[in-house]
Structure 1
Amino acid sequence: MKKYFLYVGLIMISLLGTDLTDFALSIWVLKQPEGTITSYTMIWFFEAAPAVLLAPFIGSFVDRWSKKKIIIYGQIITGIGSSILMSLFYFEHLQPWHIMIVSGIGSIASMFVFSAFYVATTALVSKDKLIKAQGVSTAIYAAISIGVPVVSPVLFKMIGMERIFMIDIITFLISILAFLMIRFVVVAKTEEEFNFRNDWKLVKEFLKERKGLRSLLGFFFIIGFLIGLIKVLFTPLILDFSNEYYLGLVLSVVGIGTVIGGGIMSMSKKIEHPIKTIFNVNILLGVILGCLWINVNLYVLAIGGMLAVLLFTISDIMNNAFFQAVVPTKMLGRLSGFVGLVIGASEPLSYMLSGAFVDYLSNVVSDVSYEFSNHFPGTTITIAIILIFTISGVMLMIVSYLFQRNKGIKNLDALYQEKLKKESKDQSEHNKNTAHINSPSMK
């Protein structure tokens, strides 16, 4: 797993600069005179939607191309985007719509990078260690997530937005140069010529033979939409009754949940029933979100957010490891692309609608009694967002419970165990053959 950790480290260096820039830009947009929650959430939408729409095509190319080249070229394109935004900011021409366009292109390039690394992971890590590997990489990224919200506002004030852009570009260069110099792992790829229709038939047939997978995709679409609302509205919620410095501290505490979740999964030896665990974790996540309204303050949101992120991290790691274990490597890019389109469409949809939801509910709650509104800090925006959180939490519990009872989904854990046993058997036979060839009698 040494190479896996090396690749993760290089990609995380690149992500550090990107996260610093994204966080600083979020503050910049919300602080503009014409800045609104809708313009803020639309940036999130454009940062996710293009990659989601093109995910099946990206997956098809990833299965056929060099994973090393994909990672390098993807980061080059994203770095160019940061350079363009830096130039626009320097000459005082930067507008939210500029960020939307560059974010859209960057999302496509990033989808190539992460899809290539996702597929390459199966060549770096055995199936029985996928959950552990995912836990380690998640914990490393979580360390970045904790530091960025604290550091970014300070850097925003001390060195300015243009120098934060420069940090982003430097981190891209470090990662790109390192990937150019290292020897990349050999990853199995399909030799079939590109034919999107045939790729779709292949994926469709794979899902048709495993009915539980289709139901699981429906579940994750709904969950993705609900979680997307929470993700995009958490920052506006804090800023409605606090400032960017407290926002950074709260998000850092929330990020600890990712570290803990990743740490727990990295130490887990074996998960017998990942799918069953995913549903139980999401029910508990729904309970936490549904109870945030009881006492809304920075402490509750920090702790509640940390617990929610911890549970979401565990669920996400097990989901990724499950698909990496049950899907053949040669078609993993294509299937993950189509899955990315189905599931991934939920988050951009939530980003696009979240601003309208907040505006509508803000108008509705403007006529509520003084005693009720006085229970919440900030303006009607806070009340509206908390209502969305509460409804999302209740829906999360109901949906998780109902899908858990699906017969096809219940069989997925057996499929997972079957794949692990097959790899263990194949590895044992390989070791026996290797030992036989290297024995003295054969020399």
Structure 2
Amino acid sequence: MELQWRKTFAIIFSGQIFSILTSSMVQFSIIWHLTETTGSAAVLMIAGLAAFLPQAILGPFIGVWLDRWNRKKTMIVADSAIAFFSLILGIYFFFGEPSLGFVYVILMIRSTASAFHAPAFQAAIPLIAPEDQLTRVAGWHQMVFSFSTVIGPALGIAVYSATSLGAVLFLDVVGALIANIMLSFVKIRQPKAESIHTPSFLKEFKLGWDAFVQVKPIVVITLATTIFGIAFMPLATLFPFMTLSHFGRGGYSASLIEAVFSIGMVLGGVILSVIASKWKDITYMSLSLVVIGLTCLISGVLSKEAFLLFVILSFFMGSAAPFYNGPFMAMIQRAYEPAMLGRVISLVTSVMMLSSPIGLMLAGPTVDKYGVQMWFFWSGIIVIVTGVILFIAFKRMTVDLVQRNSNGLE
């Protein structure tokens, strides 16, 4: 049994490496193309909204369908849809420069498909791995994701510079094909039909919501993650803009930042998978936010000649990220029944995704008026405060729980 579930994840992750790699190439290449051709932070923010908003809006409702459908087939169909619209955009680029509106539409459609793929995968993990190994598997997932994104930006900018954005988009089709072939070789069991079907869509949605709010620690972390997302998520779009506008460097320097950040995530994922049970999950998460916040804050006061220091800070920022994402997802996977997990993960993902458009709408005009460093600095302050408050809140919840248990025994 031990060997079987590890083998299953090895097959799944070996395919996901290619899919995540090519998606990373596409994501960075599109952002760099828009940065290079428009030089507008507002354009980048609109692109970010197109990429995040559909997932935020659709997430709560998609969870109901995920708990009804076969999760393996859902992943395959969603990944295929993402690849198909990459192909359409790639063909368009071969015939000429598409309008910004057309690019935004494709980004929205890809985001819609991603809204099905990511929660389906996360909801499938507890159906494969033992409960006591979920944090470790989360570390593996972070490691695979990070490894794929290490070379994604560098490869993306290399292919983009040598050929065109269309060629990068065609490679995304190949990556999805490999991922789906590998996924077809594994078997993922489904929750029992009677546990996931209720008479109506609205009742199923309400069941998912009721299950979510009953676990107060998850609700608290989700709220903290929303604040974190508003402050930090726009930086994923602003990293290339920071490299170009503040440090005055080109595409390869921007891809270096992305690669260094991802190398840090790989290292963080490896460390998390090794020391997963040493501390409580909330300790890892709080420390992660403090480290991320500090690196953002310092980045916000760097001089134009301090690009090397920005590279180093990006590495530590990336290293800290898995210590938040991994334990949080493991906590969710442990807290809810598999038959309800698709709905809960979709709800949580939707809340987190909704924070990104809010952050992007605030970041666009702020960066255009005050400069990109202003957003780095104040996002760092907000993230540090969020990490400290989250740790204190959980410490108080633990004390209250102990006191209630003690009173119950008296």
Q: Report if aligned partners of 2:289, 2:386 keep a CA contact under 8 Å in 1.
A: no
Could you tell me which residue of structure 1 aligns to residue 383 of structure 2? 396
Could you tell me which residue of structure 2 aligns to residue 131 of structure 1? 135
Aligned partner (choices 235, 240, 264) of residue 257 of structure 1? 264
- Alpha-carbon spacing, 1:23–1:294, altered in 2? closer, same or farther (3 Å): closer
Using the alignment, how far apart are the partners of 1:25 and 1:194 within structure 2?
Answer: 43
Could you tell me which residue of structure 1 aligns to residue 214 of structure 2? 209
How far 1:237 sits from its partner (Å)? 0.5
How far 1:294 sits from its partner (Å)? 4.2
- Residue deviations 1:80-102 (CA, integer Å, cap 9, x gap): 10111012111114122212111
1:15-164 map, 5 Å:
15-32=20-37, 34-164=38-168
Secondary structure of the corresponding residue to residue 96 of structure 2: coil
Counterpart check, 1:275 vs 2:282: yes
Q: TM-score, normalised by structure 2?
A: 0.89
Match for 2:288: what amino acid?
A: V
Using the alignment, how far apart are the partners of 1:413 and 1:286 within structure 2?
Answer: 29
Q: Report if aligned partners of 1:274, 1:413 keep a CA contact under 8 Å in 2.
A: no
Aligned partner (choices 340, 346, 349) of residue 337 of structure 1? 346
- Alpha-carbon spacing, 1:281–1:15, altered in 2? closer, same or farther (3 Å): closer
- Alpha-carbon spacing, 1:357–1:409, altered in 2? closer, same or farther (3 Å): farther
Using the alignment, how far apart are the partners of 2:199 and 2:307 within structure 1?
Answer: 52
Q: Report if aligned partners of 2:78, 2:117 keep a CA contact under 8 Å in 1.
A: yes
- Residue deviations 1:356-375 (CA, integer Å, cap 9, x gap): 111222xxxxxxxxxxxxxx
Bigger shift: residues 72-81 or 93-102 = 93-102
Match for 2:20: what amino acid?
A: L
Could you tell me which residue of structure 2 aligns to residue 378 of structure 1? none
Q: Report if aligned partners of 1:213, 1:412 keep a CA contact under 8 Å in 2.
A: no
Could you tell me which residue of structure 2 aligns to residue 2 of structure 1? 7
Aligned partner (choices 352, 357, 382) of residue 348 of structure 1? 357
Aligned partner (choices 190, 193, 206) of residue 187 of structure 1? 190
Using the alignment, how far apart are the partners of 1:65 and 1:409 within structure 2?
Answer: 40
Match for 2:189: what amino acid?
A: V
- Alpha-carbon spacing, 1:194–1:42, altered in 2? closer, same or farther (3 Å): farther
Match for 1:310: what amino acid?
A: S
Structure 1: tracts of 5 or more residues without a match: 362-383, 416-443
Aligned partner (choices 224, 227, 230) of residue 232 of structure 2? 227
How far 1:37 sits from its partner (Å)? 1.7
Using the alignment, how far apart are the partners of 1:194 and 1:13 within structure 2?
Answer: 40
Match for 1:201: what amino acid?
A: K
Q: Report if aligned partners of 2:11, 2:186 keep a CA contact under 8 Å in 1.
A: no
Q: Report if aligned partners of 1:237, 1:385 keep a CA contact under 8 Å in 2.
A: yes
How far 1:413 sits from its partner (Å)? 12
Using the alignment, how far apart are the partners of 1:398 and 1:106 within structure 2?
Answer: 34
Structure 2: tracts of 5 or more residues without a match: 1-5, 403-410
Secondary structure of the corresponding residue to residue 185 of structure 1: coil
How far 1:409 sits from its partner (Å)? 6.7
Bigger shift: residues 79-88 or 184-193 = 184-193
Counterpart check, 1:285 vs 2:288: no
Match for 1:98: what amino acid?
A: F
- Alpha-carbon spacing, 1:183–1:148, altered in 2? closer, same or farther (3 Å): closer
Using the alignment, how far apart are the partners of 2:162 and 2:177 within structure 1?
Answer: 24
- Alpha-carbon spacing, 1:388–1:68, altered in 2? closer, same or farther (3 Å): same
Bigger shift: residues 12-21 or 99-108 = 12-21
Pair member with larger Rg: 1
- Alpha-carbon spacing, 1:256–1:407, altered in 2? closer, same or farther (3 Å): closer
- Alpha-carbon spacing, 1:2–1:225, altered in 2? closer, same or farther (3 Å): same
Using the alignment, how far apart are the partners of 2:369 and 2:66 within structure 1?
Answer: 42
Using the alignment, how far apart are the partners of 2:391 and 2:67 within structure 1?
Answer: 32
Q: Report if aligned partners of 1:48, 1:107 keep a CA contact under 8 Å in 2.
A: yes
Please give the root-mean-square deviation of Cα atoms over the aligned residues, in Å: 2.2
Q: Report if aligned partners of 2:122, 2:345 keep a CA contact under 8 Å in 1.
A: no
Match for 1:188: what amino acid?
A: P
1:304-319 map, 5 Å:
304-319=313-328
Could you tell me which residue of structure 2 aligns to residue 197 of structure 1? 202
- Residue deviations 1:123-173 (CA, integer Å, cap 9, x gap): 111121111111112112212211122222221122322222221212222
Match for 1:360: what amino acid?
A: K
- The number of equivalent residue pairs is 391
Using the alignment, how far apart are the partners of 1:211 and 1:412 within structure 2?
Answer: 14
Could you tell me which residue of structure 2 aligns to residue 248 of structure 1? 255
Q: TM-score, normalised by structure 1?
A: 0.83
Q: Report if aligned partners of 2:61, 2:205 keep a CA contact under 8 Å in 1.
A: no
How far 1:22 sits from its partner (Å)? 1.9
